[in-house]
């Protein structure tokens, strides 16, 4: 059955390709992008693929943009937009941490609250939080990003329990390291402020890690399938081989000594 789906962060990466994929599958998609050039590019891409796609500007930190977004009546909200700030937790400027929580957590929560109120009135709806494997495990030097995704995990699970009696479904999708460009730009974001003459924690060489990322089409196919589905697991981790790695990490935290 066709659904009306609103997705944030559709200007690039998973958001863009998933929005196009959902439209291709016959759903009504409202795809939001942060800046006008992204809006235009996505409109042009939809036109090129002969797809019906509604594209709007949504900078999550702009209350005017959020108000515009909330004029839509939807079946599914996909909280996909996000930023990654890297750097050691002992030295990353707290302003960067605040900005990450503002975009990844607080603004999405505010948008979600607005849509959930409408969903409760209509008696149905679904909220999909695009989390990450970083919401389950923590990786050094991207602790800020991991912290925002851990917060999303807590918010999503609480919402699931709170909204089930109202007919609203809540789920998470947890991608691993896929080659969309997001991890690459996030990894070097610390270079904007890091000063090797003053900061005492030596930065790691992440080049080898970035060379071993997965083909994003696999994740996009999963998202296009899961987002509109009525029944599936609460948490979708992909690639599936990450399941055991995440469980091993959590077991290691329980048994870790200092």
Contact 134, 145 (CB under 8 A): yes
Residues contacting 27, CB < 8 A, separation 6+: 2, 3, 4, 5, 228
CA-atom Rg of the chain in angstroms: 18
* Paired residues of 7 in beta bridges: 31, 78
Q: Which of 72, 145, 178, 194 is catalytic?
A: 145
Is 234 annotated in the active site? no
Strands 54-57 and 168-175: unpaired
Q: Where are the beta strands (DSSP E) in 69-165?
A: 76-79, 125-130
Cβ neighbours around 146 below 10 Å, total: 21
Q: Report the distance separating Cα 137 and Cα 75, nearest Å.
A: 31
Tell which residue, 114, 128, 14, has the closest CA to residue 79.
Answer: 128
Contact 81, 131 (CB under 8 A): no
Catalytic residues: 145
């Amino acid at each position: 059955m066709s659904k009306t789906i609103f997705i944030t962060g559709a200007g690039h990466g998973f958001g863009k390709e998933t929005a196009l994929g959902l439209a291709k599958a016959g759903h009504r998609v409202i795809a939001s992008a942060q800046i006008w050039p992204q809006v235009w590019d996505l409109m042009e891409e939809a036109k090129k693929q002969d797809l019906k796609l509604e594209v709007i500007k949504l900078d999550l930190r702009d209350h005017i943009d959020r108000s515009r977004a909330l004029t839509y009546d939807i079946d599914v909200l996909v909280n996909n937009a996000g930023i990654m700030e890297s750097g050691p937790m002992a030295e990353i400027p707290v302003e960067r941490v605040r900005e990450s929580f503002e975009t990844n957590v607080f603004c999405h929560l505010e948008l979600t609250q607005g849509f959930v109120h409408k969903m409760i009135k209509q008696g149905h709806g679904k909220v999909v939080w695009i989390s990450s494997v970083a919401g389950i495990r923590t990786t050094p030097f991207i602790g800020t990003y991991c912290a925002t995704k851990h917060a999303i995990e807590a918010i999503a699970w609480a919402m699931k329990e709170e909204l089930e009696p109202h007919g609203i479904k809540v789920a998470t999708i947890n991608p691993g390291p896929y080659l969309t460009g997001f991890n690459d730009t996030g990894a070097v974001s610390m270079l904007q402020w890091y000063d090797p003459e003053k900061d005492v924690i030596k930065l790691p060489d992440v080049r080898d890690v970035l060379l071993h990322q997965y083909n994003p089409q696999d994740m996009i196919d999963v998202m296009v399938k899961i987002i509109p589905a009525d029944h599936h697991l609460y948490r979708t981790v992909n690639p599936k081989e990450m399941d055991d790695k995440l469980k091993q990490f959590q077991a290691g935290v329980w048994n870790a000594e200092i």
